[in-house]
Amino acid sequence: MEHRGVTVWLTGLSGAGKTTITKALEEKLNAQGCKLEVLDGDIVRQNLTKGLGFSKEDRDTNIRRIGFVAHLLTRNGVIVLVSAISPYREIREEVKQRIGDFVEVYVNAPLNVCEDRDV
C-alpha cells in the first residue's frame, strides 16, 4: 500500500518541546510501519547548513534548505517531521507553498520554561 507524503513542521521557541514531540510522533508512526524521516533543525545545522550563522538571511537559507529536502521526501511518499525554530512566517509560508502537503504546528511553552530547558 502506497502512503501519501506529508510534512509536519513543528516550530516554536528553543526549549518549547519540538524535538520531544517529534520523537514521540516518530515512535508512534514507526510502530505503524509508516515511511518517515525526521529533519531536526540542530542536526541539519551540524551537517547540511554548517557554516550558516543566525542572521535573518542565514536563518532563511537554513529553513529553505530544510524545506527543499522536506519537499523531495514528501513528494516521494515520505512523512517528514521537521523540528526547527523557523521564526519568520514569510519563509514558513514560502516552504509551505513549495511542499503543498504541509501541517504547521506551533509548540507553545511559557518563556521561563523554555529558558530553563534551553541548552
Which of the following is catalytic: 14, 55, 83, 86? 86
Which residues, at least 6 apart from 20, have a Cβ–Cβ distance to it below 8 Å?
none
- pLDDT value at residue 95: 96
- pLDDT value at residue 48: 84
3-state DSSP of 30-81: HHCCCCEEEEEHHHHHHHCCCCCCCCHHHHHHHHHHHHHHHHHHHHCCCEEE
Domains of the chain in start order, with CATH, are: 6-117 (3.40.50.300)
55 is catalytic: no
- pLDDT value at residue 68: 97
- pLDDT value at residue 119: 64
> Taking the chain (119 residues) in consecutive chunks of 10 residues, what is each chunk's mean pLDDT?
86 91 97 96 88 92 96 97 94 95 94 80
DSSP state at residue 6: E
